[in-house]
Amino acid sequence: MFDPRDPYERYYWHYESRRPLSVAQIVALQSVDAETAALVWLLLENGVSLTVAGPTDPQPGVGKTTTLNALLQFLPEGTALAYMSGMYENFSFTRLPDIDPATTYALCNEVSDHLPIYMWGRIARRYLQLPAQGYHVATSVHADTIDDVMYMYQHDLRLRPEDVRRLGLIINIGLVGRAYPARRRWFSTHFVQPYADPDRPDAIVPVPLSLWNSFDDTFEHADALLLADLAGWIGMKPQDFQSALQRRIACMQEISQQGGVDMEDMFEAISDLHEKEA
């Protein structure tokens, strides 16, 4: 059975990429900008769940695993990772006497029906319902757009609207152009509005936080009003949220210069920022 302590096993089970990158290096490669990366950083620090979506055409090298691994560095301090075992998962970790759902992220390499080491059907549905028990989830999927992610979660996996509203961040990435090496971009970053609209109780609203503009290869960001709503959704005051976001943007701009710092130095930069804030 899968042993996440073994680096070879993590690679075999598609939990690690051939060439790990930090988020700073991903920004340096222009896959995403510092502002979007900093916003995702702040949200993950506050315990939101995460889905990284890539093209339905399962071309290699898109970067779902690399992106997911890089973003794990932003999880709250003291977070425990529970690695899922694909279709063999029995969720026994939820029965551990000392498990704390509030500080536990259930990490799934992929939600799809491509391989038994991934999750699908009732196993995937149970996994994606873990946030209802207080856990957080982080996974990847094959989906070209945010609408495709929503269709998969609602129709293919038959999640209830309240379950989908707990899934937090959804990042759609992909390849652009035909040049080699391939250029990767974060096409969109959405946050699923966590509360139901009384007038439309079954509606699910993915709110766009960042959208890639293919015309000039830039990123369009959410306005101040939407960010104020976002702050409330994660339990922060808008002023505190904006201050924390600006500190992370400045940090990300600095550490993504000249190719960007690696995973180890990225960890140090995150720790240094936390110490200054404390």
Write the single-letter amino acid at 47. Answer: G
Sheet with 218-221, side-by-side order of all strands: 80-83, 104-107, 136-142, 50-54, 169-176, 183-192, 206-213, 218-221
Q: Average pLDDT, stretch 109-114?
A: 92
Q: Average pLDDT, stretch 16-39?
A: 95
pLDDT of 19: 86
CA–CA gap between residue 184 and residue 178 (Å, rounded): 11
Q: What is the CA radius of gyration of the chain?
A: 18
CATH superfamily, region 8-273:
P-loop containing nucleotide triphosphate hydrolases (3.40.50.300)
Give 5-16 pLDDT, tens digit per residue. Answer: 888 888 888 888
Sign, CA dihedral 140-146-148-152, equals positive
3-state secondary structure of 227: helix
Give 172-199 pLDDT, tens digit per residue. Answer: 999 987 767 778 999 999 999 999 988 8
pLDDT of 3: 83
Sign, CA dihedral 6-65-231-29, equals positive
Neighbours of 78 (CB within 10 A): 7
- ∠ CA(173), CA(125), CA(166), 5° rounding? 65
Give 57-91 pLDDT, tens digit per residue. Answer: 756 668 899 999 999 999 999 999 999 999 999 99
Is it true that the peptide bond before 20 is cis, omega within 30 degrees of 0?
no
3-state secondary structure of 18: coil
CA–CA gap between residue 51 and residue 159 (Å, rounded): 15
Mean of the per-residue pLDDT values of the chain: 94
Q: What is the pTM of this model?
A: 0.95
- For residue 132, give Cα distances in angstroms to 93, 125, 136, 161: 16, 12, 9, 12
| Torsion angle, alpha carbons of 24, 210, 112, 125, to 10 | 110
Q: Can you state the angle between helices 238-255 and 34-45, rounded to 10 degrees?
A: 130
- Is the confidence at residue 244, as pLDDT, over 80? yes
pLDDT of 59: 63
